[in-house]
Structure 1
Amino acid sequence: MTSTTGSTPGGMPLAYNRAPCDTLKPWITRLGVTSVNLPEGKTIECGTFGEQPILRMIFGSQWSAHTAEGLQTFSPGERGLALYFGPCTKMMRLTAHGSFKVVTVNFAPGGTLGLDLPSVEETIDRILPFDPFDRAARPHEAYIPRDDAKAWLEAAETQLLTSFSAASPKRPHDLLAEFERLCLTDPGASIAEFAHDRGIARRTLERVIRKSWGVTPHFAMRRARALDMAAALLEVALEEDEPEMRLRYFDQSHVTRELRSLLDTTPGRLQKGSRPLLRITMEIRQSRRVEILAGGTSENPRPWRDPNAEPRSVNRTEN
């Protein structure tokens, strides 16, 4: 298994991902491209876990997914498929039946509310087989993979600018971004204090988050703690933050119960397994977390990435 879009020092594939341009930031948190080559006949059985909707333009071999609607199979081929993943309340099991290339668009909280889609809650643990901007099953030609990862990502971003300009969705409420910041930086904080500090009732916060996240604030923070812990075990989190991530739990048995409940695994199995698809998702999320911790001003070093494995066209200071 090899990647042309980045990897860990141990050789596990990663996406080349970054923050979007300022124009897209109210609606999108990260953009990424992934290219993974597998030996003939090999498959990856793994999963994904997104807190917010994710649009994936998938090219290459067949994929299968265990969704809220049961087992679904997708055959993207060279023309690709546009797949809109709703937020997850548990790890969604995925199988990649061979080599693949993906454009990933991570939406911000509330970033899809103006796109005439089903409610966020209705898309929980589901995959909708279309691009949410034009309802097309096949991706726009701008998303077609290129050998140059940076050029590929820039082409995707340019097309997204066109799509958002045409859709003209309303800017998400600032409260949603503030709650995302809380989930990424302090998911053990008091929800009541968060509401109080913003001059709103807790019931109002519950209603707003439920509408735009599809889950309660309590579950969103519980999920955030588990995803941080998963990232640490997969070695795609800041090493110095791992002790604090562990202190969010009462003891090791508490960690185990939560990972079993949300990711259907144990800390030991997660640490020992390769988990390439889940690692890619967790690495993009941790990149967002590092960005937020740094004030959202620039890309910052991500020590879990192998600098020698970055796409050749990418400036080393970007990673």
Structure 2
Amino acid sequence: MRSVIPRTGASRGGAPLSLSRTPPDSLAGHVARFFVTVIERPADELLDDFLFHENAYIRVPLVGTWETLIDGNWVGYEGPMLFGPQQRRFPVRCRGPVLAAGFAIRPGAWLTFCDEPADRMADRLVPLDGDWSAALRWATADVYDHEQTFARMEQVVRERVVIRAVPIDPVSAAFERIARVDPVRPVADIAAEFGMSGRRLDRTVRAHFGHLPKTVLRRSRFLDMAAVMRGLAVPTADELAELRFYDASHLNREFREFVGMTPAQFRRSETMLFTPSLEVRQQRKRVELAPHIVAAPWRDEDAGAKGEGVRPQA
């Protein structure tokens, strides 16, 4: 295996991870989590993997050569990108180091970051331009300086929130919470709790999450189980993830639906791009549901300490 150096931390099993931060209270309704990913790899080595997030997100890839599969063709991209909500694996490949920074968007704040309803952006990405792109490039100009990068990303998002002045959708914020902590609830029961018809809930969730309520709940259950398989389970929150699936065939069907592989294939896969994003999700869940746990139990803290802020030799 060729040299891989995880500069933003690693799991106890050695998988490279991102470094992520909880947003300040002033941005907590808009941003789920900020992240920086620095994985040193040989400049000529190709990594063919996928991204899959439950939140839409803005991602700024840095260095390397990045491509995504669109209609059967690999298409190159660079600079700040808005990734819409994802229902299926999003094929991506990179040649060279993996350097990126960005943040996950909370569904209730979707219209702060995009003019289109979320369902029109589902499983798509669009390049960002103009002042917004320039600000994100400035924020991520030195991704090896993690503290500066986090501070600058907070600054540009705060400015965006002020300029757009779009109120957070309360129904989407409430549904997001349910999807995270109780994804087995029937959609009809949730609609009744909100005092809404099922059709109206469908429209609201599609506009902010990009997919139907049932899909959002299924995706949350799947990601909980994927986290357990990767050793990223949040104590007190994910121990019963497997019980949410009726049987092995149900589990197999969900894995094929969301990532195009069986559970066994997933266990054997490295998923160097997917795993860091999954861990960012789990860090958020840990902070929200198990705040008494000071450090994530799955992280190798020595690996993080060795990697932070270290630039490769010229």
TM-score > 0.5, shorter chain as reference? yes
Runs of 5+ consecutive residues of structure 1 not aligned to the other structure:
315-319
Return the TM-score normalized by structure 1: 0.88
Aligned CA distance change for structure 1 residues 299 and 118 (closer, same or farther; 3 Å): farther
Q: Secondary structure at the match of 1:33?
A: strand
Is 1:180 the equivalent of 2:183? no
What is the Cα deviation at residue 118 of structure 1? 2.4
1:305: which partner in 2?
299
Q: Which amino acid aligns with 2:303?
A: A
Q: Over the residues paired in the alignment, what is the CA RMSD in angstroms?
A: 2.4
What is the Cα deviation at residue 105 of structure 1? 1.0
Q: For residues 32 and 12 of structure 2, what CA distance do their matches in structure 1 show?
A: 25
Report the structure, 1 or 2, having the larger helix content: 2
Question: How do 1:194-205 residues align onto structure 2 when only pairs under 5 Å count?
Answer: 194-205=190-201
* Residues 120 and 213, structure 1, Cα contact 8 Å, conserved in 2: yes
Aligned CA distance change for structure 1 residues 68 and 215 (closer, same or farther; 3 Å): farther
Q: Give per-residue Cα distances to partners, 1:111-143, cap 9 Å, x unaligned.
A: 221445222111111110115x83537843222
1:226: which partner in 2?
222
* Residues 56 and 83, structure 2, Cα contact 8 Å, conserved in 1: yes
1:268: which partner in 2?
264
What is the Cα deviation at residue 250 of structure 1? 0.9
What is the Cα deviation at residue 68 of structure 1? 6.2
* Residues 108 and 170, structure 2, Cα contact 8 Å, conserved in 1: no
Percent of counterpart pairs with the same letter? Answer: 26
Q: For residues 188 and 250 of structure 1, what CA distance do their matches in structure 2 show?
A: 12
What is the Cα deviation at residue 109 of structure 1? 0.7
**How many residues get paired?**
305
What is the Cα deviation at residue 41 of structure 1? 2.1
Q: Which amino acid aligns with 2:199?
A: R
* Residues 99 and 143, structure 2, Cα contact 8 Å, conserved in 1: no
What is the Cα deviation at residue 154 of structure 1? 1.9
**RCO greater where, 1 or 2, for CA within 8 Å and sep 6 or more?**
2
* Residues 148 and 311, structure 1, Cα contact 8 Å, conserved in 2: no
Q: For residues 70 and 285 of structure 2, what CA distance do their matches in structure 1 show?
A: 27
* Residues 232 and 239, structure 1, Cα contact 8 Å, conserved in 2: no
* Residues 129 and 137, structure 1, Cα contact 8 Å, conserved in 2: no
Q: For residues 124 and 56 of structure 1, what CA distance do their matches in structure 2 show?
A: 16
Q: Secondary structure at the match of 1:230?
A: helix
Q: For residues 13 and 243 of structure 1, what CA distance do their matches in structure 2 show?
A: 23
Aligned CA distance change for structure 1 residues 146 and 40 (closer, same or farther; 3 Å): closer
* Residues 148 and 313, structure 1, Cα contact 8 Å, conserved in 2: no
Q: Secondary structure at the match of 1:11?
A: coil
Q: For residues 139 and 112 of structure 2, what CA distance do their matches in structure 1 show?
A: 23
* Residues 38 and 100, structure 2, Cα contact 8 Å, conserved in 1: yes
Is 1:253 the equivalent of 2:249? yes
